[in-house]
């Protein structure tokens, strides 16, 4: 037996495959422990505080709670399910709970990508390798926020759609309404999942009409699903997204987000790819491979072509949506791979139990080496957020109102609950006008003197790198009462 044959035989061993899967998921968790994105996210803190509010009041908010400048504005906590779960993790485990919550979500995304590709391709190593390539461009480039629930559920939806489209069994899609009921109460990007469902229905309807008029092009693959039942599934999914405390009002949030402008220029992750990082090129190559896979077929699947095209437009417009393209492109590649070789038996419940037990043991063993401890997390937070300045105000309270740097609003909302923040990361609450006003003031131009929210503030907490820090240092209305290498606090004279 040659070395190549021996290697192939080794890779076919179940224990080797399960070990590779455990290594992949453990590596994702250990990297998460090391870089600690789960507690360094600027927005994670307002999510936590909103979750605490929901638990305390046993209700969801309808106005801009915890903000002094937008308290009366209408607001929808569209990720309330995510926030309640985070609140409970923190209540049970403290800072470690926040870190574990984010880590579990990150591992969950990697697992969902593998599960989707395994179900579509039918072969272990194809799914394992594609999962690595699929996750590399985005997994550690975005924070473990509610969008991670969207990515996981999108993978489930995409796997079911591809399987139903391949087998012609519409019954596979009967789980979708239940999935969307859950999704709509976890994150607003359930709309990304509705799109492929609606697209499959729309494409099937067009193909059905072409068949009726005997005008089907020979280069298009025929439809495989009954249009009527597919339409009913799509309608049921739409209804399911309205089952929750906000009902159909979630769609109003989607409309408002579509009108936003300033966030796309102010927030780096909402800007287009710069191709200054390796992961951008991997995303591009994965996209190209996806199109090649779709075009590889003798007959083009119009659903996959349209889905991949729209995903490319969306993902290359904003870096945060890279996952949308990567998952779809990887699914298209996996679908072609499924045609080569026999489908392998999927992992059993017992095998998965062994994998997860191995991952848990690995994370426990490596946690301390990555400084993933209460002390390590606390030190990481202190290096990135104004903990010392906030402690100063706790010990030497100055009457509000508070004016704060935008990026620190979420943290101050959680760490200094006695002060209502002037602004935080909820762009959908404040809107373009307020965001632009606060950013202009933060830069310290002459316009800061006309900012009504600064003019009514008695205490100001800023970054020392903000232009406003230098402006207030010369402003006779304010005196500097505290500063450290990161932050500064001003009080009105």
Closest CA to 253 of 426, 78, 65: 78
Residue (of 412, 419, 417) closest to 389 by Cα position: 412
Q: pLDDT value at position 298?
A: 84
Categorize the per-residue pLDDT at 13 as very low, low, confident or very high, splitting at 50, 70 and 90. Answer: confident
* pLDDT tier at 11, thresholds 50, 70, 90: low
Total Cβ atoms within 10 A of residue 181: 18
Give 8's pLDDT tier (boundaries 50, 70, 90).
low
Residue 46 confidence (pLDDT) above 90:
yes
- Residues 6 or more apart whose Cβ sits within 8 Å of residue 152: 105, 108, 109, 111, 112
Q: Is the pLDDT of residue 1 over 60?
A: no
Mean pLDDT, rounded, for 27-32: 95
At 409-450, the pLDDT tens digits run 999 999 999 999 999 989 889 988 888 889 889 988 877 888
The reported pLDDT for the residue numbered 3 is 65
Using alpha carbons, list the distances in angstroms from residue 286 to 163, 276, 322: 21, 17, 11
For residue 431, what pLDDT is reported? 86
Name the token pair of 58: 């046993």
- pLDDT for the residue numbered 340: 84
Tokens standing for 348?
């059993």
Q: CA-based Rg of the chain, rounded to a whole angstrom?
A: 25
pLDDT at 142: 86
The conformational region for residue 222 under phi > 0 = left, psi -120 to 50 = alpha, else beta, is: beta
Indicate the domain borders of the chain: 76-347, 385-492
Residue 229 confidence (pLDDT): 95
What's the pLDDT score for residue 383? 93
Task: Mean pLDDT check: name the lowest of 14-18, 53-57, 466-470.
Answer: 14-18
| pLDDT for position 153 | 98
Instruction: List, in sequence order, every residue forming a beta bridge with 489; answer none if it has no partner.
Output: 461, 482
Model-wide pTM > 0.85:
yes
Q: Does residue 327 surpass a pLDDT of 60?
A: yes
Q: How many CB atoms lie within 10 A of CB 354?
A: 17
**Predicted confidence (pLDDT) per residue in 345-363, tens digit:** 899 999 999 999 999 999 9
Q: What's the chain's average pLDDT?
A: 92
Annotate 45-89 with DSSP letters as a single string.
Answer: HHHHHHHHHHHHHTS--SB-TTBSSSTTSB---TTHHHHHHHHHH
> What are 181-205's pLDDT values in tens digits?
999 999 999 999 999 999 999 999 9
Q: Report whether the peptide linkage leading into residue 401 is cis, meaning its omega lies within 30 degrees of zero.
A: yes
Read off φ and ψ for residue 404, nearest 5 degrees: -140, 160
Task: Please tell me the predicted confidence (pLDDT) of residue 386.
Answer: 96
Q: What is the mean pLDDT of residues 278-300?
A: 93
Question: In the predicted model, what is the mean pLDDT of residues 361-384?
Answer: 92
Tokens 């309608």: give the residue. 235
The Cα 292–Cα 154 span in angstroms is: 22
Tell me which residue of 384, 490, 386, 401 sits closest to 444, measured CA to CA. 490
Q: Whole-angstrom Cα distance, residue 124 to residue 118?
A: 6
* Paired tokens of 16: 């080797």
């Amino acid at each position: 037996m040659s070395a190549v044959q021996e290697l192939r035989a080794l890779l076919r061993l179940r224990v080797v495959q399960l070990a590779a899967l455990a290594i992949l998921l453990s590596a994702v968790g250990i990297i998460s422990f090391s870089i600690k994105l789960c507690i360094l996210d600027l927005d994670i803190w307002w999510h936590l505080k909103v979750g605490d509010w929901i638990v305390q009041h046993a209700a969801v908010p309808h106005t801009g709670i915890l903000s002094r400048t937008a308290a009366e504005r209408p607001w929808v906590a569209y990720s309330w399910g995510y926030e309640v779960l985070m609140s409970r993790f923190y209540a049970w485990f403290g800072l470690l709970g926040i870190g574990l919550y984010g880590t579990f979500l990150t591992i969950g995304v990697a697992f969902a990508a593998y599960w989707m590709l395994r179900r579509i391709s039918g072969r272990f190593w194809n799914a394992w390798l594609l999962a690595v390539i699929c996750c590399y461009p985005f997994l550690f480039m975005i924070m473990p926020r509610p969008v991670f629930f969207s990515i996981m559920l999108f993978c489930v939806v995409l796997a079911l759609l591809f399987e139903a489209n391949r087998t012609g069994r519409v019954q596979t899609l009967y789980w979708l309404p239940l999935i969307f009921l859950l999704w709509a109460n976890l994150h607003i990007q359930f709309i990304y999942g509705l799109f492929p469902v609606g697209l499959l229905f729309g494409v099937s309807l067009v193909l059905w009409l072409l068949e009726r008029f005997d005008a089907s092009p020979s280069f298009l693959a025929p439809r495989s699903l009954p249009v009527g039942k597919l339409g009913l599934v799509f309608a049921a999914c739409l209804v399911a997204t309205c089952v929750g405390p906000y009902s159909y009002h979630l769609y109003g949030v989607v409309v408002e987000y579509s009108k936003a402008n300033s966030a796309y220029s102010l927030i780096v992750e909402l800007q287009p790819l710069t191709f200054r990082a390796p992961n951008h090129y991997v995303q591009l190559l994965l996209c190209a491979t996806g199109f090649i896979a779709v075009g590889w077929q003798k007959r083009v699947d119009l659903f996959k072509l349209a889905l991949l095209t729209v995903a490319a437009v969306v993902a290359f417009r904003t870096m945060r949506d890279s996952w949308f393209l990567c998952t779809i492109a990887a699914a298209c590649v996996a679908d072609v791979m499924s045609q080569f070789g026999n489908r392998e038996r999927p992992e059993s419940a017992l095998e998965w139990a062994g994998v997860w037990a191995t991952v848990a043991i690995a994370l426990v063993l490596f946690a301390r080496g990555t400084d993933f401890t209460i002390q390590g997390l606390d030190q990481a937070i202190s290096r990135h957020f104004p903990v010392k300045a906030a402690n100063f105000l706790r010990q030497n309270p100055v009457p509000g109102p508070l004016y704060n740097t935008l990026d620190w609003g979420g943290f101050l909302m959680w760490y200094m609950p006695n002060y209502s923040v002037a602004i935080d990361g909820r762009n959908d609450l404040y809107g373009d006008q307020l965001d632009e006003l606060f950013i202009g003031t933060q830069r310290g131009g002459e316009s800061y003197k006309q900012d009504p929210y600064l003019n009514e503030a008695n205490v100001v907490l800023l970054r020392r790198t903000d232009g406003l820090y230098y402006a207030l240092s010369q402003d006779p209305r304010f005196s500097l009462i505290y500063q450290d290498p990161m932050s500064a606090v001003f009080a009105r004279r």
